[in-house]
Amino acid sequence: MDNWLKGLVAAACIVIIAGGGFLAWSKWVVYQAELARVAAAKAEIEAQRANEIAAAERQAQKEKCADTVFEFGQKVRGMHVDEATIPDEAKKADQCLLDFPEIATSSRITGLGTFWAQARLDKLQVSE
């Protein structure tokens, strides 16, 4: 076989091997990009789920706090119980008002209770 024919066959082999390598590399890059896209989508879904869970937990805590403030207000205002006799309940109610100031004006606290809760909240915010 002539040298030029050997060179031509060697060049063809190199081109085919290089083309195969390039094809394999480009497929690998596309695969890695797809893996990254799927991982990002999963992370976003997990973050959304975590945010929804946190929001639900916060809402449940807010409702529990609204009940605490309402019951404390009923005792202090309605039953004329001295705050000093129930200091733990007073601390819980105060902390709830600080954590969720919107409780003071919520529909759970109605009538004069709204004014009482708002005044108590204002007093707590000033003393901080």
- For 81-122, write each residue's pLDDT tens digit: 787 788 898 899 889 988 999 888 887 777 667 777 888 888
Which pLDDT value is given to residue 71?
Answer: 87
The region that residue 80 occupies, defined by phi over 0 for left and psi between -120 and 50 for alpha, beta otherwise, is: left
Lowest mean pLDDT among 54-63, 94-103, 118-127: 118-127
What CA–CA distance (Å, rounded) separates 102 from 80? 25
**pTM, to two decimals:** 0.62
The residue ranges of every structural domain in the chain are 3-127
Q: What is the pLDDT confidence band of residue 10, given thresholds at 50, 70 and 90?
A: very high
